[in-house]
Structure 1
Amino acid sequence: MGTVCYIYSVDCVGVGRAAPVKNLTVILGVIFGVFIFKEFSWQNKLPLVLLGGATALVLLSTILLGKLVTVTGLARSSCPIHLIKPKLKKASQYSVVGFGFALSAALFYSLFGIP
């Protein structure tokens, strides 16, 4: 399911914008590990500080990589936007759908690591 969502997101917003958003998989995996599976001890602060710094770097790289790609000519005819709402024509609407698919791909990829 994650791969299908990722392919749709690439069709809607291009690989330059879809890949950084999909790479938020790491952050979602950390959230699952810390809050659901209790993989960190709250007494030892150093791993949590390092985790926070790494999370900030991943978010920063996602934002920077997303801003490097121009907005014009994002969507292709294969973008499955008609599945959500027919007759959408604006590039911003394709962006919303594409980023939604990329976030869905990140969620599905992060769920894949749960035993």
Structure 2
Amino acid sequence: MRYEELIKAYFDSFESERLPYIKCTKCGKVFYYPRTFCINCNSTDLQVKTSEGKGKIFTMTKFNNTIYGIVELKEGFRLYTNIIDENGKADIGVDVEVRFTVGNGGKKFPVFRVV
């Protein structure tokens, strides 16, 4: 799959409110950020999959009342994201789930909400 096709698949998934990730069919490595080769074995035999969108806060920081962090998803990959905390419960190890919000360019993108 070409890089442009991967990017399109990701943005199409976001618009459908689905969280994509990549799985290498050779070694089984999973990762979030679009690449045309496996970050573990360099294979180009990759599949775009859909995550359940549930995970835990791996690490986080608060800056100007906004929470940024790394979320580890049940499928085994991590991604850097904004974390929405409506109840003041955000902390490392707390459960989160994906939500989609519209950015300045009118496109949807994933954020995570504390559950």
TM-score (norm 1): 0.26
Higher RCO (CA < 8 A, seq sep 6+) = 1
Higher-helix-fraction structure: 1
Larger Rg: 1
TM-score (norm 2): 0.26
Higher-strand-fraction structure: 2
